[in-house]
Structure formats: structure tokens, C-alpha cells
């Protein structure tokens, strides 16, 4: 009788513990199953359930012991072998996990969970094709297996099969639309497809539902990096580093944000921390090389580029940047031979093809092989234009620029009157028009800190659009914006600049060239700030843009016709601003600055309202950081070699010349017609 009573008691405990496990009370279930095994340790089912309880509590070492007991008691119990493999996988014991999965499949070759486990381990080992096969086999046995479908979608993402990833996710979304891992995977797929707007919406939803969740924060970081929201990257990387200071990737992300905000010393410190944590990363070494390039330290720049190439001899970014710091007179150079060997070998991915075409184009231009240089540059430009143009509607973008002049027909009536203790000096114009040189000259002054290309104005536009109480579009709805809203954006612009730079001067420069589109808004936000428009011969500007890879997706620079039409819009818009603001915008010509240096510098400093300082003539005073494409030209002082460079490529530029002549920008001799 006592024996039956004890058995009934154990059965009751088992049923109660099993129910708790089903209801998610793993801790209560564990206590029940532990009671049973203390009194009756020879039943494999109890050990199996105890293992599941431990697993739910992330106590994987204890789970392994429990599952081991279960399979020792019943070696053919396939579910315990599968769960044992999962527990080993969670602890990173890959070999033991594979052995457990294979044992399960030996017992039951058509076991879906065992196939799913094996596929997960193969995916973790980056054997994606094998993993794909395992998941597909699992789905042949159970076409509705949620985990197998999800894992197969994940593998297809890794293989670049993005449409297939979305197809697989659709039925899962219908079954569980709020599932967090599913939403995260969908967002990651959209990022890879460059559908950043849709990805951003998904991640914002996740951030709202799971505030502070690390995986969601990392997804947000990924989006902000690819859309070049560098201020947001700073905030996210810093927040994540509070949780894990030993994550090299986060230090690299922080370094990238500082680098693109021209806070190069902070970038160097961050990259050095990344390298200390992951010394074998060729990407981090290359990034530190870029920092030293910005600092004008050729010796260290070359060292880190070469260190990167030692680890990965085919790293195209390092090859491209290494040739940028040297000038070649002959193709008989080991660096050039290394690049040509990789180039001629073929089989390059698109990114490497683009980088190496620009590297070789630069080399051939140095060596006066102009036709070969242009044709080689064209290979990279065509690929880059196709890639970046897929995410940007150029006609829509051109229409946006055209609407600026038809919307802002009068100077702003509402302007910010409060003054911060530091104010921007805006240096703008076409990219490659001399903005870097002009900023360097201005930042020699003791009252000025050079801050490079700041994204603050575009960020302000985004904020004024997104956070309005009613839908608002730039430029159409901006004339009616309140002074209070403008003042808030003015303060944020200054605050963000302070966060990236150590400002202790009355003025700082913002040389974002594309701010030429936003001069009306600049005058509303900072009515007293000087604005300098950099002018240069249109053909030199267009050619220089065409020979340069840019960090952001400015697709028009990779196609000569698109670039020409963009220049036409710049030209017309600057005439509009001149009519609206007169001498409040100072024009300076690159050609005058390099041929009549001292006189033009004196005129420039006076025009922006600074007292004269002799330091403005001292090139050594401006050996601050330079991050843009002009870096080594500026380091060489007044750089005259690029003046009238277009003449070497006159035949190749005939379509450009036709467009510019048609719009009255060039005369019949191809001279620049400068508006009076």
C-alpha cells in the first residue's frame, strides 16, 4: 500500500511539474522534477523534463547532465539527444553538439528537430549550403515547422537570397506578426536590400516594444551607420559600450562615427581600442590608416594600410587608399603590380572591382595614360552608378532641388535671434570645388575650429519634417515654420557639433558642400553666420567628382550626364541665392586662390568678418585633420596641378561640354562664364 501511495505521490508531483513547465514556470517545474529524481532516479522521462526545465532557465550545464542521465537510461530516446545537442550548442561546444545531433539522426534519420539542430550548427559554422540542405530536409518532413522555416530564411539571408528570405517569412508573419526574432530578421534583410526606410520603420517599432533591448539597439546602429546618421551612431555605440566595453566592433563603429564627423583624434582612440581587442582585423587596421591619412601622417598611414594588406592581400579598400598617398611616374612599382595582378586575375566582387578601378585609374592618370585612366575609372563609375541609383530616384531628387528656388522666393521672415557662444561659418559649393582648401585657410584663424563636413543641416530638415504636428515636406512647407521650432534645431545643431568636437573658439566651420541647396534655411537658423560659396571651372569640378569614390550614396557623381545636370542646378540655384541674399554669400574661385593666394586669402577673411591674422597665410597652422578626397592635395599646400586638368580628357568630356554650353555655363572656348 505504501509503495502505491508513494507512486501516486510521485505521479502527482510529475503532473504538477509538467503543467508548470507548459505554463512557463520553469523554476517551479525544476523544483518538482528535482524532488522526483531524489526519490526515484531511474526514469529517463523525468530526467528529460528536468533537462528542459534547466534549459528554460539557461542553466545549460545542468541541462546537459540531466539529458546525459536520460540517454544513459534509454540510449534510443531521440528527443533527449536533440535537446542535449541544443544545450551543447548554447554553451559553444560545437563538436559535442554535432555528435548529439548525428546520434539522434542515426536513431531516427527523419527527425525534424534533429535536422533543424544540425542545420543550426552548420549555419553557426558558416557552412550555409549544408545548413540550407538540412533545413530543407526538415521541412520535407514537416512543412509547417516554424523554427525550420525561420532558420531556412536566416540561411537564405546569409547566402544573399533576399527575395527567398522574404517569401519564407511571409507565412510566419501571418501566424505571429509580433514575433520579435522574425521582425528583427525582416529588418536585417531590408537593410541588406538597401530598403532603409522600411527597415527603419520596423526597428523603430521594435525599439518601442522592447526599449533598451541590446539586439534592437544593434539593429538601430546598423541602420544609422548605412544611412550615415553619425550623431545617432555616436549615441548608440556609446550606449552599447556601457554594456560591453570589450566589443571591438562597437569601438570600430564609434571610431567610424567620429571619423566621418571629422573628430579624428577621437576616431584614432576608438580604432586603437578596436585593434587592441581584435589585432587580426584587417578592416580595423585599414581604418586606423585612414585616420593617419587625415592627420597627414603618411608614414603611419602607409604602415597600417600595409599591415591590413599583410592579413588580407586582396583588401581593395587598403589598395585604393595606399595608392592615394603616393604619386606615380611609372607603372614599374610593386604596389601597382600587386593591384594589376588582382585585377587581371578576375573573379572580383563588385565592391573590389569598384575600388580597384578607381585605384588603377588614379595610377594611370599619374602616369599620363589619360585614355586608359578614363576607361578604367568608367568601369568603377558605371558599377557605382547602377548600385547607388537603385536606391535614389534622381529625377525626384532634381525636382526637389528645383522646388527650392520656386518655394523660397523671399528671404526668411522668421529667423532665430538667440546667439550661442559659438557660431558656424558655412563653406559650400559643388563637391571637389575647393571647400577643403577654403576651410583650411579659414581654420588657421585663432577664432575658428575646423569641423569638416557636418550632417547637422540635413538632420535639422529631417527633424522639422518628422516631428511636426502635421505632415510637413521640405522645402514646400518650411516658410511657415515657427521661430521656436527653428531655434530648437539651431540649438541641437550646436549641441551635436560640441558632442563630436572640442569647441573652444568663437566660430567653427561646416564645409558640407551640399548645404548650397539649403542657404535659405541657413539664413533662418543662423542669420549672422558667414556663407562662402566655392567656385571652380565646371569641367575640372565634374572630372574631379567622376574620379572620386564618395562615402555616401551621391549617385549623380558616377555618371557624367547626371553630374552635368546636377551642376546646372547648382549654377542656377546659386544665381537665385545671389538675387535673394546678394553679398551675404561670399564667392571665392579656386583658380584665383591658387594663383593669387595671399590677396585672395585677405579678401576672404575680410568678407567673412574676421580680423586679419598673419597665421591665415601660414600653411603649417592648418595642418589639422582632413578627411575628404582632397586630403593629399591640401597637404601639398596650394595645389595647382589640378587646374585645367580637364584638358587631358577634353574628348571624353564632349557630352558634358555640350550640356554646359547649352545652359550658358561655358562659352565656345570652354571658358567658365561666371555670373556677374
Domain contains 275 = no
Q: Which residues contact 130 (CB under 8 A, 6 or more apart)?
A: 119, 122
Question: Could you give the C-alpha distances from 184 to 122, 154, 177, in angstroms and in order?
Answer: 21, 11, 12
Better-scored residue on pLDDT, 395 or 341: 341
Name residue 587's beta-bridge partners. Answer: 533
For 217, the domain range is 2-224
Better-scored residue on pLDDT, 469 or 171: 171
Domain contains 312 = no
C-alpha 245/C-alpha 233 separation (Å) is: 16
Task: Using the CB atoms, write b or e for 230-242: b if 16+ within 10 Å.
Answer: bbbbbbbbeebbe
Average pLDDT over residues 168-181: 95
Cα angle 230-634-598, degrees, rounded to a multiple of 5:
125
- 3-state SS assignment for residue 423: strand
Whether residue 597 is predicted with pLDDT greater than 70 in this model: the reply is yes
Domain contains 272 = no
Cell representation of residue 422: 559659438
Asked whether 215 and 247 are in contact (CB, 8 A), the reply is no
C-alpha 525/C-alpha 236 separation (Å) is: 27
Whether residue 263 is predicted with pLDDT greater than 80 in this model: the reply is yes
Domain contains 342 = no
C-alpha 161/C-alpha 136 separation (Å) is: 15
For helices 112-124 and 78-90, the axis angle rounded to 10 degrees is 20
Find cell 592648418 and name the residue: 622
Nearest to 364 by CA among 335, 325, 336, 334: 336
Express each pLDDT in 632-655 by its tens digit: 454 445 445 567 899 999 999 999
C-alpha 318/C-alpha 305 separation (Å) is: 5
Domain contains 629 = yes
Cell representation of residue 401: 532641388
- Long-range contacts formed by 597-602: CB under 8 A, 24+ apart: 597/638, 601/441
Cell representation of residue 7: 507512486
Asked whether 396 and 505 are in contact (CB, 8 A), the reply is no
Nearest to 162 by CA among 213, 198, 137: 198
% of the chain with per-residue pLDDT over 90: 84
Query: What is the number of structural domains in the chain?
Result: 2
At 11, the pLDDT band (50, 70, 90 cuts) reads confident
Whether residue 1 is predicted with pLDDT greater than 60 in this model: the reply is no
C-alpha 668/C-alpha 308 separation (Å) is: 49
For helices 264-277 and 248-260, the axis angle rounded to 10 degrees is 160
Report pLDDT for 470. 86
Torsion angle, alpha carbons of 184, 189, 191, 197, to 10: -80
Express each pLDDT in 450-496 by its tens digit: 999 999 999 999 999 988 888 899 999 999 999 999 999 999 999 99
At 315, the pLDDT band (50, 70, 90 cuts) reads very high
Domain contains 308 = no
Q: Which residues contact 343 (CB under 8 A, 6 or more apart)?
A: 356, 360
Q: What's the pTM value of the predicted model, to 2 decimals?
A: 0.84
For the domain that residue 140 is a member of, what is the CATH number?
A: 1.25.40.10
For the domain that residue 526 is a member of, what is the CATH number?
A: 3.40.50.300
Express each pLDDT in 24-67 by its tens digit: 999 999 999 999 888 888 889 999 999 999 999 999 999 999 99
Find cell 550661442 and name the residue: 420
Domain boundary among 224, 240, 267: 224
Express each pLDDT in 364-386 by its tens digit: 999 999 999 999 999 999 999 98
Sort strands 448-450 and 507-510 into parallel, antiparallel or unpaired.
Answer: parallel
Name residue 425's beta-bridge partners. Answer: 509
**List of E strands, 421-558:** 423-429, 448-450, 507-510, 531-535
Whether residue 582 is predicted with pLDDT greater than 80 in this model: the reply is yes
Find cell 518655394 and name the residue: 407
Express each pLDDT in 411-423 by its tens digit: 999 999 998 899 9
Question: Could you give the C-alpha distances from 356 to 266, 362, 376, 543, in angstroms and in order?
Answer: 29, 10, 9, 18
Whether residue 3 is predicted with pLDDT greater than 90 in this model: the reply is no
Name residue 533's beta-bridge partners. Answer: 428, 587
- 3-state SS assignment for residue 336: helix
Q: What is the largest CA-CA distance in the chain?
A: 115
Domain contains 315 = no
Average pLDDT over residues 493-503: 92
**Neighbour tally for 341: CB within 10 Å:** 11
Asked whether 531 and 522 are in contact (CB, 8 A), the reply is yes
Lowest mean pLDDT of 7-16, 395-404, 545-554, 627-636, name the range: 627-636
Name residue 585's beta-bridge partners. Answer: 531
Question: Could you give the C-alpha distances from 396 to 389, 393, 429, 514, 651, in angstroms and in order?
Answer: 12, 5, 21, 16, 31
Cell representation of residue 187: 529588418
Domain boundary among 172, 201, 224: 224
Residues in the chain: 676
Domain contains 380 = no
The 3-state DSSP composition of the chain as helix, strand, coil percent (nearest 5) reads 70, 5, 30
Domain boundary among 201, 224, 247: 224
Amino acid at each position: 500500500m505504501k509503495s502505491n501511495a508513494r507512486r501516486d505521490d510521485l505521479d502527482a508531483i510529475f503532473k504538477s511539474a509538467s503543467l508548470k513547465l507548459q505554463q512557463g514556470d520553469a523554476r517551479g517545474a525544476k523544483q518538482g522534477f528535482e524532488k522526483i529524481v531524489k526519490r526515484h532516479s531511474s526514469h529517463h522521462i523525468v530526467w528529460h523534463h528536468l533537462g528542459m526545465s534547466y534549459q528554460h532557465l539557461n542553466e545549460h550545464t545542468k541541462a546537459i547532465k540531466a539529458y546525459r542521465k536520460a540517454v544513459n537510461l534509454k540510449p534510443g530516446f531521440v528527443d533527449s539527444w536533440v535537446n542535449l545537442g541544443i544545450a551543447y550548442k548554447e554553451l559553444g561546444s560545437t563538436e559535442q553538439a554535432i555528435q548529439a545531433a548525428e546520434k539522434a539522426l542515426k536513431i531516427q534519420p527523419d527527425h525534424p528537430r534533429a535536422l533543424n539542430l544540425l542545420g543550426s550548427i552548420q549555419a553557426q559554422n558558416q557552412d550555409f549550403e549544408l545548413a540550407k540542405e538540412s533545413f530543407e530536409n526538415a521541412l520535407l518532413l514537416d512543412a509547417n515547422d516554424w523554427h525550420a522555416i525561420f532558420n531556412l530564411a536566416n540561411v537564405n539571408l546569409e547566402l544573399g537570397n533576399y527575395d527567398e528570405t522574404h517569401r519564407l517569412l511571409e507565412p510566419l508573419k501571418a501566424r505571429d506578426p509580433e514575433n520579435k526574432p522574425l521582425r528583427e530578421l525582416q529588418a536585417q534583410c531590408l537593410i541588406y536590400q538597401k530598403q532603409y526606410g522600411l527597415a527603419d520603420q520596423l526597428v523603430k517599432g521594435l525599439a518601442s516594444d522592447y526599449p533598451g533591448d541590446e539586439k534592437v539597439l544593434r539593429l538601430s546602429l546598423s541602420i544609422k551607420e548605412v544611412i550615415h546618421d553619425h550623431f545617432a551612431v555616436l549615441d548608440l555605440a556609446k550606449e552599447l559600450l556601457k554594456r560591453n566595453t570589450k566589443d571591438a566592433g562597437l569601438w570600430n563603429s564609434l571610431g567610424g562615427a567620429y571619423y566621418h564627423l571629422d573628430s579624428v583624434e577621437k576616431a584614432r582612440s576608438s580604432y586603437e581600442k578596436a585593434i587592441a581587442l581584435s589585432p587580426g582585423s584587417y578592416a580595423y587596421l585599414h581604418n586606423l590608416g585612414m585616420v593617419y591619412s587625415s592627420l597627414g601622417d603618411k608614414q603611419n598611414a602607409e604602415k597600417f594600410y600595409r599591415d591590413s594588406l599583410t592579413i588580407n592581400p586582396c583588401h581593395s579598400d587598403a589598395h585604393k587608399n595606399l595608392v592615394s598617398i603616393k604619386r606615380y611616374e611609372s607603372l614599374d612599382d610593386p604596389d601597382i603590380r600587386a593591384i594589376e595582378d588582382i585585377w587581371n586575375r578576375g573573379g572580383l566582387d563588385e565592391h573590389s572591382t569598384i575600388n580597384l578601378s578607381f585605384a588603377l585609374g588614379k595610377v594611370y592618370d599619374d602616369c599620363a595614360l589619360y585614355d586608359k585612366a578614363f576607361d578604367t575609372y568608367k568601369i568603377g563609375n558605371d558599377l557605382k552608378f547602377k548600385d547607388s541609383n537603385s536606391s535614389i530616384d534622381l529625377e525626384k531628387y532634381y525636382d526637389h532641388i528645383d522646388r527650392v528656388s520656386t518655394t523660397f522666393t523671399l528671404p526668411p521672415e522668421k529667423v532665430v535671434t538667440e546667439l550661442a557662444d559659438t557660431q558656424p561659418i558655412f563653406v559650400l559649393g559643388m563637391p571637389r570645388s575647393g571647400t577643403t582648401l577654403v576651410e583650411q585657410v579659414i581654420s588657421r584663424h585663432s577664432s575658428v575650429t575646423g569641423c569638416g563636413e557636418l550632417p547637422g543641416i540635413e538632420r535639422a530638415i529631417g527633424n522639422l519634417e518628422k516631428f511636426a504636428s502635421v505632415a510637413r515636406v521640405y522645402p514646400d512647407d518650411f516658410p511657415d515654420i515657427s521661430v521656436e521650432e527653428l531655434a530648437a534645431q539651431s540649438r541641437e545643431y550646436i549641441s551635436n557639433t560640441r558632442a563630436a568636437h572640442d569647441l573652444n573658439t568663437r566660430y567653427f566651420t561646416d564645409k558640407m558642400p551640399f548645404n548650397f541647396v539649403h542657404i535659405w534655411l541657413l539664413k533662418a537658423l543662423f542669420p549672422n553666420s558667414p556663407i562662402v560659396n566655392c567656385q571652380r571651372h565646371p569641367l575640372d569640378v565634374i572630372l574631379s567628382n567622376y574620379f572620386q569614390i564618395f562615402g555616401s550614396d551621391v549617385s549623380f557623381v558616377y555618371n557624367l550626364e547626371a553630374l552635368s545636370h546636377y551642376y546646372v542646378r547648382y549654377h542656377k540655384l546659386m544665381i537665385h541665392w545671389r538675387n535673394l541674399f546678394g553679398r551675404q554669400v561670399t564667392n571665392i574661385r579656386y583658380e584665383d586662390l591658387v594663383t593669387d593666394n595671399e590677396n585672395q586669402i585677405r579678401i576672404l577673411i575680410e568678407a567673412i568678418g574676421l580680423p586679419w591674422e598673419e597665421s591665415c597665410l601660414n600653411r603649417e597652422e592648418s595642418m589639422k585633420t582632413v578627411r575628404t578626397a582632397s586630403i593629399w592635395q591640401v597637404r601639398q599646400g596650394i595645389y595647382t596641378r589640378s587646374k585645367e586638368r580637364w584638358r587631358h580628357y577634353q574628348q571624353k568630356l564632349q557630352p558634358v561640354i555640350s550640356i554646359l554650353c547649352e545652359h550658358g555655363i561655358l562659352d565656345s572656348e570652354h571658358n567658365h562664364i561666371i555670373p556677374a
